[in-house]
């Protein structure tokens, strides 16, 4: 079997198995099985797979057909054009979360931001991108999960920002040494029943997805404590789920009656982020 044939077979199997992005997923798995990069994959479509390579590749295809995400099979996922280590202790970074990064960077360009905290950092993707893009800013990243922090540490090291990001173990804002200018968080926000119903937690950690009964338990808890963790004029950026914009805005409005609160959609047009911006103290 050649590289080209292996890809075609996997693509067909994925199409039948209702695996999305069949072409990309086949390529990622074949590259992983053969330990080659994208260029090598395209340069040698007629390369013959050794029987052991073919069998190894097909084992990966079968794992994918069984529902395991490709990112966990290969141990890698791209986010913001960078490659991150992932394992089953962390949520796989989603493309829509790049909205949080874009917005944080835009705010940091406009306003004096000296310190940023990412709450619930998981594999550390958001914090790493911010550290790389904002070399002057002090960055904290917290997570309650020790295994997740180990993955985040790996990613900080591989991207050369281990000395720029302080990884802190603990619940949400608790481990922060003091208030910061900007807090960014992609907390668990899926209503518990949905998470089970959709089988979301079959592979990914429930801890990173489960937002309690209405999905807003963790976001609500963070909002209720954010007041004394943001500096005057500070910002809070929260990723939210579909149809949570109204509830989160109302919640923040009660806590911060005179602040600016806005909801932004992602590229698919779905409400994806709430931004709280505290008015500067006169």
Nearer to ligand GLN, 119 or 161 (CB): 119
Report the site for ligand GLN in 204-223 (rule: CB under 6 A): 209
Please report how many Cα atoms fall inside a 13 Å half-sphere around the Cα of residue 71, on the Cβ side. 18
Q: Which of 169, 24, 27 is nearest to 95 (CA)?
A: 24
Among 189, 222, 235, 256, which residue sits at the site for ligand GLN (rule: CB under 6 A)? 189
To 10 degrees, what angle do helices 125-133 and 98-110 make?
A: 30
Looking at residue 190, the DSSP 8-state letter turns out to be: B
Considering only residues 124, 188, 205, 245, which one is a binding residue for ligand GLN as defined by CB under 6 A?
A: 188
Could you say whether residue 76 binds ligand GLN (CB under 6 A)?
Answer: no
Rule CB under 6 A: say whether 94 interacts with ligand GLN.
yes
Structural contact between residues 127 and 121, judged by C-beta atoms closer than 8 angstroms: yes
CB of 92 to ligand GLN, least distance (A): 9
Please count the residues of this chain forming the interface with ligand GLN, following the rule CB under 6 A. Answer: 9
Please tell me the distance from the alpha carbon of residue 97 to that of residue 92, in angstroms, as a whole number. Answer: 11
Nearer to ligand GLN, 268 or 281 (CB): 268
CA-wise closest residue to 151 among 81, 233, 268, 71: 71
Minimum distance, C-beta of residue 197 to ligand GLN, in the bound complex (Å): 12
Residue 201 in the binding site for ligand GLN (CB under 6 A): no
The DSSP call for residue 2 is B
- The answer to whether the beta carbons of residues 154 and 83 sit under 8 Å apart is no
- Residue 33 or residue 240: which is nearer to ligand GLN going by CB? 240
Q: For residues 214 and 99, what is the distance between their CA atoms, to the nearest angstrom? A: 23
Q: Can residue 71 be called a binding residue for ligand GLN (CB under 6 A)?
A: no
Stretch that binds ligand GLN, among 18-26, 75-83, 182-190, 221-229 (CB under 6 A): 182-190
Count of positions (residues) in the chain: 282
Contacting ligand GLN within 102-141 (CB under 6 A):
none
Kindly state the smallest distance separating residue 190's Cβ from ligand GLN, in Å: 5
**Is 240 a binder of ligand GLN (CB under 6 A)?**
no
Closest by CA position to 175, among listed 144, 153, 209: 144
* Nearer of residues 64 and 218 to ligand GLN, judged by Cβ: 218
- The greatest distance separating any two alpha carbons of the chain, rounded to the nearest whole angstrom, comes to 72
Could you list the residues that contact ligand GLN (CB under 6 A)? Answer: 94, 186-190, 200, 209, 239
């Amino acid at each position: 079997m050649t590289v080209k044939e292996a890809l075609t077979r996997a693509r067909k199997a994925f199409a039948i198995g209702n695996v999305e992005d069949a072409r990309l997923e086949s390529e990622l798995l074949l590259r992983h099985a053969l330990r080659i990069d994208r260029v090598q994959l395209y340069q040698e479509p007629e390369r013959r797979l050794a029987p052991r390579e073919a069998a190894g590749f097909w084992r990966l295809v079968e794992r994918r057909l069984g529902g395991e995400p490709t990112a966990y099979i290969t141990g890698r996922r791209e986010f913001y054009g960078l490659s991150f280590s992932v394992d089953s202790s962390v949520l796989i970074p989603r493309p829509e979360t790049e909205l949080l990064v874009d917005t944080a960077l835009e705010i940091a360009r406009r306003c004096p931001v000296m310190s940023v905290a990412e709450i619930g950092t998981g594999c550390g993707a958001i914090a790493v991108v911010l550290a790389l893009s904002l070399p002057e800013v002090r960055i904290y990243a917290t997570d309650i999960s020790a295994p997740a922090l180990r993955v985040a540490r790996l990613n900080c090291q591989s991207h050369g920002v281990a000395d720029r990001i302080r990884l802190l173990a603990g619940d949400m804002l608790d481990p922060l040494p003091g208030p910061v200018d900007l807090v960014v968080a992609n907390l668990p926000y899926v209503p518990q029943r949905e998470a089970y119903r959709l089988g979301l937690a079959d592979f990914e950690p429930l801890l990173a997805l489960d937002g309690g009964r209405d999905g807003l338990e963790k976001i609500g808890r963070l909002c209720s404590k954010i007041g004394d963790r943001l500096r005057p004029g500070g910002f809070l950026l929260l990723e939210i789920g579909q149809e949570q914009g109204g509830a989160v805005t109302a919640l923040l409005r009660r806590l911060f009656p005179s602040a600016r609160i806005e909801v932004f959609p992602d590229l698919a047009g779905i409400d994806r982020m709430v931004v709280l911006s505290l008015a500067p103290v006169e």
